[in-house]
Amino acid sequence: MAVTIVIPTPLRQFAGGQSEIEVEAATTGEALEKLTAQFADLKKHLYSDGGSLRNFINVYVGDEDIRDLDNLETGVKNGDEILIVPSIAGGNIAAEAKAEKELPALSNEEIARYSRHLILPEVGLEGQKKLKAARVLMIGTGGLGSPLGLYLAAAGIGTLGVVDFDVVDESNLQRQIIHGTKDVGRPKIASAKDRLQDINPNTDIEAFETRLTSENALELFKDFDVIVDGTDNFPTRYLVNDASVLTGKPNVYGSIFRFEGQASVFWAEKGACYRCLYPEPPPPGLVPSCAEGGVLGVLPGIVGTIQANEVIKVILGAEGILLNRLLLFDAWKMRFRELKLKKNADCPICGTNPTIKELIDYEEFCGLNLPVEEKTLEEISAKELNELIKSNPELQIIDVREPHEFEIARIPNTKLIPLGEVVNRSKEIDPSRLSVVHCKGGVRSAKAINALQENGFTGRLINLKGGITAWSDEVDPTVAKY
């Protein structure tokens, strides 16, 4: 049977950059075995040392999770698609359940402002009052939080809570449309509040300039009806999920990476939570940040507005919310997919016998502050590299970024060998000469050095601390920063 395996963006670097691979197989397990036989580096990201699929990897045949079928023995037929889905990040609520007499009145100005809502029978006067009565907490005012905030304020949400602690950077402006050029250097919370109040002065903005933590999440969540996850890292995503479950709040989820996005509504009282989908996070560093991996500017706008749409539907008590459904979006191919989710009876926080009954250390849970095996990694600063270039004409400088990054900016006299090719092209690096390896910020170059050493490279390799960004900051400001 010829089946197509769809490779998600984070794993394509281990599959020769391919997005789809066709194999002959009768079962899902056989298809994955053939895939990993063809791409050996992919195997450790899909399977544990014991040979079972990792918990942060979900596999679907069509729209069905193989965990709900026959797992790896799930049969496939000619033309089927197998989707690998790794983590990347209807009903009523309190506002909907309020009695009519408790709903706030609308002024004539508000009736005029929301007139296009009021003439929709699905919203109407009562629905608009529910929106005005609702309290929604947004976590983040970045790529997802920007369209979320703009559309929720415009829709007439009565109270918007906003949590953020970051500062507006010029690189944010390509996608974080709630901020403008004049806001560079300002706290995002201040910039977002000004913009939201300008969009709709009837919306009360409650600003929390703080990092969301295990110490403050439950207290923040308890006074809001809906939580909207606009975060960009796994520790905060699991924190948002767990705090939402423990406080009984619906969690409207979205995540983005390069050209791909995900959206769902996690609501433990009515269905699956985020941990039901992804019981554990991926290893640190597997999924690059937007700074390392990039993101198409309009992608968070599309996913963020989908989240805003779901928030409004949840408040109105509409049928058809993204409950127990995971929506996948590929902006480059302009393709939507929908996958079914099921509540996991063994989920550690929302299952039949939960073991997580309070918030935990999410940095530790995601492996960000666990002890790691110490590896010798020699580093050099940009200024030291500049002096070394002057004194050592035999020096090799290896750039492990991608070709399109190399076109943007480069250090003079460097050799480009992308990270995904560095082991196979190691013979192009002379082990008898000193080599400095660099990328954008120092993460990929460290991976390249470790990979070369693990594969027997004997030459001396030094990592450029801070990468080409540090070179631009400390040595040559004419080298563009991106």
CATH for 33: 3.10.20.30
Amino acid 67: pLDDT: 87
State mean pLDDT over 75-83.
Answer: 91
- In this structure, the answer to whether residues 385 and 328 fall within a common structural domain is no
Q: Is residue 107 part of a domain?
A: yes
State mean pLDDT over 221-228.
Answer: 97
Active-site position among 273, 276, 290, 347? 290
- In this structure, the answer to whether residues 192 and 249 fall within a common structural domain is yes
Exposed, middle or buried by CB within 10 Å (0-12, 13-18, 19+), for 315? Answer: buried
7: pLDDT strictly greater than 50: yes
Q: How far is CA 409 from CA 233, 399, 416, 463, 477, in A?
A: 27, 11, 12, 18, 11
Question: How many domains does the structure of the chain reveal?
Answer: 3
Structure tokens at 300: 């968070």
In the three-class reduction of DSSP (H, G, I as helix; E, B as strand; rest coil), residue 139 is classed as strand
Q: Give the pLDDT confidence of 193-211 residue by residue, as tens digits.
A: 999 999 999 999 999 999 9
Rounded to whole angstroms, how far apart are CA atoms 238 and 395?
45
In percent, the amount of the chain with pLDDT more than 70 equals 94
- In this structure, the answer to whether residues 112 and 197 fall within a common structural domain is yes
Tell which wins on pLDDT, 373 or 45.
Answer: 45
E strand segments, 17-91:
20-24, 57-61, 64-65, 81-86
Q: Is residue 442 part of a domain?
A: yes
Residues in the chain, overall count: 482
Residue 450: CB atoms within 10 A of its CB come to 14
Amino acid 93: pLDDT: 43
Q: Give the pLDDT confidence of 395-405 residue by residue, as tens digits.
A: 999 999 999 99
Structure tokens at 399: 């750039």
Type of residue found at 142: G
Q: State the pLDDT confidence band at 421, using cuts at 50, 70 and 90.
A: very high
Amino acid 418: pLDDT: 95
Q: Is residue 77 part of a domain?
A: yes
DSSP 8-state class, residue 481: P
- In this structure, the answer to whether residues 406 and 347 fall within a common structural domain is no
- In this structure, the answer to whether residues 184 and 168 fall within a common structural domain is yes
- In this structure, the answer to whether residues 108 and 14 fall within a common structural domain is no
Amino acid 369: pLDDT: 62
State mean pLDDT over 384-412.
Answer: 95
Q: Is residue 163 part of a domain?
A: yes
Range of the domain at 48: 2-86
94: pLDDT strictly greater than 50: no
> Pick from 86, 109, 141: which residue ends a domain?
86
State mean pLDDT over 52-61.
Answer: 86
Q: Rounded mean pLDDT of the chain?
A: 91
CATH for 161: 3.40.50.720
Tell which wins on pLDDT, 70 or 435.
Answer: 435
State mean pLDDT over 316-342.
Answer: 95
Q: State the pLDDT confidence band at 95, using cuts at 50, 70 and 90.
A: very low
State mean pLDDT over 66-92.
Answer: 81
Amino acid 96: pLDDT: 44
State mean pLDDT over 90-115.
Answer: 72
Q: Within its chain, how far is the Cα of 450 from the centroid? A: 26
Q: Is residue 349 part of a domain?
A: yes
Q: Is residue 372 part of a domain?
A: no
E strand segments, 95-217:
135-139, 159-163, 204-208
Q: Is 273 a catalytic residue?
A: no
* Most confident among 12-26, 37-51, 425-439 (mean pLDDT): 425-439
- In this structure, the answer to whether residues 251 and 397 fall within a common structural domain is no
Rounded to whole angstroms, how far apart are CA atoms 378 and 75?
50
Q: Is residue 374 part of a domain?
A: no
Q: State the pLDDT confidence band at 13, using cuts at 50, 70 and 90.
A: confident
CATH for 398: 3.40.250.10
Amino acid 372: pLDDT: 45
Assess contact for 343 and 350: CB atoms under 8 A.
yes
Assess contact for 304 and 146: CB atoms under 8 A.
yes
Rounded to whole angstroms, how far apart are CA atoms 57 and 11?
11
- In this structure, the answer to whether residues 285 and 321 fall within a common structural domain is yes
Give the global pTM.
Answer: 0.77
Rounded to whole angstroms, how far apart are CA atoms 85 and 310?
22
Structure tokens at 290: 């937007």
Q: Give the pLDDT confidence of 270-284 residue by residue, as tens digits.
A: 999 999 999 988 877
State mean pLDDT over 398-417.
Answer: 95
- In this structure, the answer to whether residues 191 and 283 fall within a common structural domain is yes
State mean pLDDT over 465-480.
Answer: 96
Active-site position among 276, 347, 350, 439? 439
19: pLDDT strictly greater than 90: no
Q: Is 366 a catalytic residue?
A: no
> Pick from 58, 86, 114: which residue ends a domain?
86
Amino acid 375: pLDDT: 57
- In this structure, the answer to whether residues 312 and 179 fall within a common structural domain is yes
287: pLDDT strictly greater than 70: no
In the three-class reduction of DSSP (H, G, I as helix; E, B as strand; rest coil), residue 381 is classed as coil
Amino acid 285: pLDDT: 64
Amino acid 290: pLDDT: 66
427: pLDDT strictly greater than 90: yes
Which region holds residue 39: left if phi is over 0, alpha if psi is between -120 and 50, else beta?
beta
- In this structure, the answer to whether residues 271 and 348 fall within a common structural domain is yes
Q: Is residue 479 part of a domain?
A: no
53: pLDDT strictly greater than 60: yes
- In this structure, the answer to whether residues 44 and 139 fall within a common structural domain is no
